[in-house]
Structures are given as structure tokens and as C-alpha cells.
């Protein structure tokens, strides 16, 4: 176990390598190696995608009768992970890449072909310029024309930048920036003040009573009186309501009593043990009560008292 990491072996002084017997091996011998897929590919049989970097146990062999500047070219065989179809590809030392041979198609092959085509065209152009001086002149003329167009476009951009120097970009950007809390409060307060100023208030209202203060001069000899008084002027609407009421119903009398509207009776109360006798003595519009009440009160009877003394029957009971 200690010799497995030894790099140098001991060779005796009488060691002769020619005496070692050599094995006869086939020229196109295949070796089993472990490798990773060098590019993305897709199986032609089942359509399975094989991505770059996937590991395989592959068989390696030398490509006969092919080399590049003395560099040997190798061929590899792998199997699809889904259908076990054999896929082969070989090295390409000229382009430092790998070339697919059979069993699969390489993804993004169109991009590689386009790059190769552009490279070939560039090489052909260089060769043609070297052999044909007129073609070289045309190419240089076209190149100078493109340079002039580029300079003109650059001048236009510079002129446009000079024109836009006067533009205040900070104020333009500030319009689209969100306003702060303080700015919003100031703006709302300003809008409220402008709204209040724009409103025209009406001085006349339906339920308002105008009060006028009148100041009178008072002499010192006269007794003290109020220096001012307040007069309440009824509104036109109230006067109109009162006038319409008087036209429809009439003016109500303001007499203190209802003596002329009812017929009253003169009653006399006789104290008896069982009943009170009421007699009608006169039909005058005056009503007298008990003697004690008449003597005590000299004022005229009210309307409620007259209604209380009124009787529906004219005959005495």
C-alpha cells in the first residue's frame, strides 16, 4: 500500500527494456474512458435533450488517416440516456471544438454556422483586396463615406445637446416626484383658502330678524330712561301671511268678555238640606252669583264663568 503513490521506480543497473516481451495489440483499439458531453445535443431517435457537462462512459478510438498539423484526432461513442441510441463525435483541433458525426444534432448549430460564414467572407474579402486594386479603392471609398456620415450624426447630437442646456431637468423631475407631507398640507391649506374666497355668502336669510339700535339723547333733568332700544321689524313674509289670514277668516275681535254672545241666567242658591233650587229671575246680560261673592268681587265676570253658568233648558227644575 505504501508504494501506490511512488512516482519513481527502482531499475537495476542491468535493466534492458528491449528484453521485455511486447504484446501484439490491434491498431484501431478502443479504450473506455469517462467524459462529459462537450456541447448541447438532441437525440435523433427519441428527441431526448443531452445538455453540456453530462457525464458518460464512452469508448475512445483513433481516427485513421486524419490529423491536423500532426495532432491526432480522436472519436468518441456514447449512448443516449433514454433510448440507448449510439452517438458519435470527434475532436476538431483546427477550431478547438468538437464535431458531431452521427446519432444526434447539435443545438445552436445555426449560430456556429453563421460565425463560420462571416469568417469565410472576411477572409475572401481580404484576399480579393490583395489581388484587385480597384476593389480595394471601392472599399476605402465606402469606408470614408461611412466615417463622414458618422461625423455628421455626431455633430447633430452635439447641437441638440447645446439646445437642451436651457431646459431645467430638475424642475421636470420634481413634477413627477411624490410630494412630502408638509408640501401636501401647505397645498391643501392653500386650496381651502381659495375655495372660501370664491364663495359668495348671501346676507338675507328666511329666519333672520333685523335689529336696529336707536340712540336717543337724554337730558339731565329728565328721569333716567333707557339710552337705547331695540326695535324688531317683522319680515315681509310674516306680514303677507297675516294679511292673507285676515282676508280669508276676518279680523278677530279683541273684547275681553263673551257676554254679548250668550244668554245668561240669574241664579240663586238656596241652602237646603237635600237640594239646591235654581230660578230664572231676569234675562239681563249680567250674571250675579251669591250675595257674598257679588259683594266681595266687583269685577266683571269672565267668559269661562258665563259658559259654566249657561244651561241648555229654559224651564226651571
Q: Can you tell me the distance from the alpha carbon of 101 to that of 235, in angstroms, rounded to the nearest whole number?
A: 113
- DSSP letter assigned to residue 31: E
pLDDT of residue 109: 77
Q: Is the pLDDT of residue 225 over 70?
A: no
The residues facing 228 across adjacent strands are 215
pLDDT at residue 220 tops 70: no
What is the rounded average pLDDT of the residues 196-205?
71
**What pTM did the predictor assign?**
0.37
Which three cell numbers mark 100? 458531431
Indicate if the pLDDT at residue 38 is higher than 80: yes
Distance CA 273, CA 164 (A): 126
Which one is predicted more confidently, 21 or 112? 21
Alpha-carbon distance 93 to 259, whole Å?
A: 145
Percent of the chain with pLDDT over 70: 64
Euclidean distance between CA atoms 235 and 218, whole angstroms: 31
Provide mean pLDDT across the span 56-68: 92
Mean pLDDT lowest for which of 12-21, 207-216, 275-284? 275-284
Q: Is the pLDDT of residue 212 over 60?
A: no
- Residue, of 147 and 206, whose pLDDT is higher: 147
- Residue 294 pLDDT class (50, 70, 90 cuts): very low
pLDDT at 59: 95
Averaged pLDDT score across all residues of the chain: 75
Core vs surface per residue 16-55: b (16+ CB within 10 A) or e = eeeeeeeeeeeeeeeeeeeeebbbbbebeeeeeebeeeee
Joined grid coordinates for residue 276: 239646591
Least confident window among 115-119, 128-132, 240-244, 263-267: 263-267
pLDDT at 285: 45
User: pLDDT by residue (tens digit) across 78-88?
Assistant: 999 999 999 99
Choice between 115 and 243, residue whose per-residue pLDDT is larger: 115
Q: For residues 84 and 101, give the distance between their C-alpha atoms in angstroms, rounded to a whole number.
A: 17
Q: Which of 3-17, 46-60, 166-180, 234-248 has the lowest mean pLDDT?
A: 234-248
Number of other residues whose CB lies within 10 A of the CB of residue 99: 15
In 3D, which of 284, 294, 290, 288 has the Cα closest to residue 260? 284
- Looking at residue 283, its pLDDT comes to 43
Please give the share of the chain, as a percent, with pLDDT higher than 90: 31
> How many whole angstroms from its chain centre is CA 277?
97
The average pLDDT across 105-125 equals 87
C-beta of residue 88 within 8 angstroms of C-beta of residue 75: yes
Find which of 40-54, 273-287, 303-317 is predicted with most confidence, using mean pLDDT: 40-54
Compute the distance between CA of residue 178 and CA of residue 215 in angstroms, rounded to an integer.
Answer: 62
In Å, how far from its chain's centre is CA 96?
A: 56
Amino acid at each position: 500500500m505504501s508504494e501506490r503513490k511512488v512516482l519513481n521506480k527502482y531499475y537495476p543497473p542491468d535493466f534492458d527494456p528491449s528484453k521485455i516481451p511486447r504484446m501484439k495489440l490491434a491498431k484501431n483499439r478502443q479504450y473506455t474512458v469517462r467524459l462529459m458531453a462537450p456541447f448541447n445535443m438532441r437525440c435523433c431517435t427519441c428527441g431526448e435533450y443531452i445538455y453540456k457537462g453530462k457525464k458518460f462512459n464512452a469508448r475512445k478510438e483513433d481516427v485513421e488517416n486524419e490529423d491536423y498539423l500532426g495532432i491526432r484526432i480522436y472519436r468518441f461513442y456514447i449512448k443516449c440516456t433514454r433510448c440507448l441510441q449510439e452517438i458519435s463525435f470527434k475532436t476538431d483541433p483546427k477550431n478547438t471544438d468538437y464535431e458531431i458525426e452521427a446519432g444526434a444534432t447539435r443545438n445552436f448549430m445555426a449560430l456556429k454556422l453563421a460565425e463560420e460564414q462571416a469568417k469565410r467572407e472576411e477572409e475572401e474579402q481580404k484576399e480579393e483586396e490583395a489581388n484587385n486594386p480597384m476593389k480595394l479603392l471601392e472599399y476605402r471609398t465606402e469606408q470614408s463615406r461611412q466615417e463622414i456620415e458618422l461625423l455628421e450624426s455626431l455633430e447633430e447630437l452635439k447641437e441638440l445637446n447645446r439646445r437642451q442646456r436651457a431646459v431645467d431637468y430638475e424642475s421636470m423631475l420634481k413634477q413627477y416626484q411624490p410630494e412630502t407631507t408638509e408640501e401636501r398640507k401647505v397645498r391643501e391649506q392653500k386650496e381651502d383658502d381659495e375655495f372660501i374666497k370664491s364663495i359668495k355668502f348671501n346676507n338675507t336669510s328666511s329666519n333672520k330678524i333685523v335689529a336696529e339700535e336707536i340712540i336717543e339723547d337724554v337730558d339731565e333733568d329728565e328721569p333716567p330712561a333707557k339710552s337705547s332700544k331695540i326695535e324688531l321689524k317683522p319680515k315681509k313674509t310674516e306680514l303677507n301671511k297675516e294679511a292673507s289670514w285676515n282676508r280669508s277668516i276676518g279680523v278677530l275681535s279683541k273684547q275681553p268678555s263673551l257676554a254679548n254672545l250668550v244668554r245668561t241666567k240669574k241664579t240663586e242658591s238656596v241652602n237646603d238640606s237635600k237640594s239646591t233650587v235654581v230660578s230664572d229671575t231676569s234675562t239681563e246680560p249680567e250674571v250675579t252669583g251669591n250675595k257674598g261673592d257679588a259683594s266681595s268681587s266687583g269685577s266683571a265676570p269672565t267668559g269661562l264663568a258665563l259658559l259654566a253658568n249657561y244651561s241648555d233648558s229654559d224651564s226651571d227644575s
